[in-house]
Structure 1
Amino acid sequence: MRWSPLARKEARTVAKSKGVWLLALLLVPWSYRPTYVGWDGLGANITAGYVQLAGTGLLPLGVLLLSYQSVVGERTAGSIKFVLGLPLTRTDILVGKVVGRTVGIAGPVSLSVLVLAGIGVVQHGLFDPLPFLGVVLVTLGYVGVLVSIGVSISAVTERTVTAAGAVFGVVFLPFIAFWSLIATALFSQATGTPVNPLDPPASGPLFLLHRLSPSGAYNVVTNWVLGVGNSASTYGGVLTELQPQVSTNAFVVEATFQPGAVPTYLHESVGLLVLLGWLVVPLGLARFAFVRGDLL
């Protein structure tokens, strides 16, 4: 693995930055949100639900901000020519940066998770370690997906301000912060069918659209691990939607489709494929542009 020295350098660079430790510090109060519905649905395993909440909003934004300068920052400073002079292919450089930054961010995030686990044990008692570990692993994998997106944007832009704008305006806002609203609007526009979020139709394409974003796929997979329901919303919204005579804007398969009428492509495992796509496709496109050597 020729890229491993570069990966170690990237990991050290990120681990020494103030930003990643600020992110780790903020993740604990961001994630610790106990609710009655969460306790009723998960019991002590609500601690694993806190880890899922760690992966919403703050974590994606922080990881993207810690990744978008990985290549374009060196290009602006002129040090990219030194990196390109190393006995590495450009593919090696991209892989090294993705792996290194993922490891550098995953360490502090894991410490935040351990703090959440400690708080959970004190407040709620011992929890089942298997779903907790499962959600943690999915969350760390999600970090890798977000790093891949950030590095890919960094590799195809010429200025840091352009990369920052793309990360925030092209990825974070549409695909993470507001994807649920956008997906519903896209479906309504394409089909001519108005969608009431409080009473969505049993439409496979509509539900699939909601889980095609990185955040939606992450929620689907972590909800699967938690065993709360099949949805691209967070566990609290899913548990609330599944209560009798309660309607929320969470699109939950069990609350909408009749048993036996759920399309195969809405199985939770498809969320893993969506996350894999967000890991590989942006990086593949970035590699194509980076290998051409037009952006130096």
Structure 2
Amino acid sequence: MKVRFGFSCRGQADLGLEDFPQLVDDLERLGFDSIWLPESMLNGAFDPIVGLTYAAARTEHLKIGAYLAVPGRNPARLARELANLDRLSRGRLLLIMVLGQPAQSEVMAQDVDKAERGARLDEVLPLLRQLWRGDVVNHDGPRYQLREARIFPTPVQDPLEMWLGGLLLGALRRAGRLGDGWIPGLTTPAEAAAKRQVIEASAAEAGRAIDPEHYGVNLTYSRGPLPALAAKQLRQRRPDLDPEQVIPQSRAALHERVDEWLEAGFSKFLLRPATPPTDWTAELETLAEDILERQM
């Protein structure tokens, strides 16, 4: 099993644009596998495609990953943008395709009805694969129409994989039908292992299979007890969980949690501190010392 550790800049308060160049340099220098940027329509410093293009130009080995909100985007334009970025980065692009953030202001900024987002994602993913194969696409779907659509150049990666997230039943079934991998949000290894069975059953029903290496986890960590605000926010999202069940609060606890996820069959880790540090370089150096020995 290949074990990889990436670093995620999730959340609008994590990092400013002025700090991004040094963060990218540090991740490359220290040997992290990847950097990940979220997509928020209204908040946060980064547009993921712009930020990752910059990161790709600045590095040689660091993989570049996006949590990319798909509904509302033109499929042909999106296919071309991502194919270009994969070529410019020499095949280092990684994708987690998401519905978008749940806040009503974010939904309005996407210009998509909230109830429509899942159906739009279902329609776009197969279209992207057709376009990346170099096919001429004539699609007259309920939400998108393409006439004689074809993109050039196509991605370096064949296929350019699209992972999915989500914990609800519909999202799990979509991951099985359409995804190349799955990476859940706030959950425990035991819960994720049970949901993985739903994904694999859905994939089998669709006549396909997901690579057993293609399961990962967003893993938030803390250095010491969680600050009160962070603990409160976590309890609001998952009142049934003790924060220590999901957020390791020491180096030893981080290794224990990684072991639990590995035992459950999840081997790709996207790490993020629970609270932004005052010195990002020092934080990344400490994190590298703490965990990168496990990368293989």
Please say whether Structure 1 and Structure 2 have the same fold, judged by a TM-score greater than 0.5.
Answer: no
The TM tier, using the shorter chain, reads under 0.3
Q: Which entry has the higher C-alpha Rg, 1 or 2?
A: 1
TM-score (norm 1): 0.26
Q: Which has the higher contact order (CA 8 A, sep 6+)?
A: 1
* Bigger helix share: 1
Relative to its length, the structure with more strand (as a share) is 2
- TM-score w.r.t. the length of structure 2 is 0.26
